[in-house]
Structure 1
């Protein structure tokens, strides 16, 4: 198996987790929060998608799907185009409201671009340094794995929040 195939599988698992966390929920359920300081499913999925879009566009030298394909305008959020959610306040988290179709549409567009970008990568490509601001410098392989890890963490958090929301509705 090629490294590119492993990465495609890893990103595919993120896609499955994102869909499982979002599908079948209403906008109200997607924006529910465990408490007033917690992240909602909508914010978690928007954020993990923004990070993937931002980081991959950065290492591959492409425009983000967010702006290139009009997703920023469709979401109509009160944030700068470059915002990914890092450091967001509780008020900013609450501002992320979206339908499941919008969230999954953007995620799936970023996922498709990701598969295009990683499809022909070789092991040598993965050794290329893409960020010298760290010690040791970050390679393409490490950057891609860090995106997968962050995406999985946030998709798991979204699944947890979904479970809380569903239990509240049953009670």
Structure 2
């Protein structure tokens, strides 16, 4: 049996998988970085929409290049890890107790002072507030962003795959 175009397809596949500025692998890595940027935009939008925090530390940690940002792109395996190193990021997403239940205490003293409606932590202050055990609901900003972006990604992936097929395998 003989299949017309099989040798041409084999050569196109070989050419597409080579490394270099015009290679499919390089284009996929650039696209992956772009969709990562789109995703962190959605995460930031959800932090704002859900009024997750009134400071910008968590919000900024989802900006590429911020000191608290996690952004690990591995071009060889085409993987991108995105996240935040802010210690309370998961607490505000998932919810938390105001006092660590493992401590065996039902309350905790936090030194600081109130300035208007904001509490400012100050470890040297004799003033402060007493926290009692209470569950604080999470805002689900990460879960919401992931759900939203999964819907956007499906359409974007289909468009991009068609574009790559049309340009690389014609």
Give 1 or 2: higher helix fraction: 1
Whose radius of gyration is greater, 1 or 2? Answer: 2
Q: Same fold (TM over 0.5)?
A: no
TM-score range, shorter chain: 0.3 to 0.5
What's the TM-score, normalizing by structure 2?
A: 0.37
Give 1 or 2: higher strand fraction: 2
What's the TM-score, normalizing by structure 1?
A: 0.37
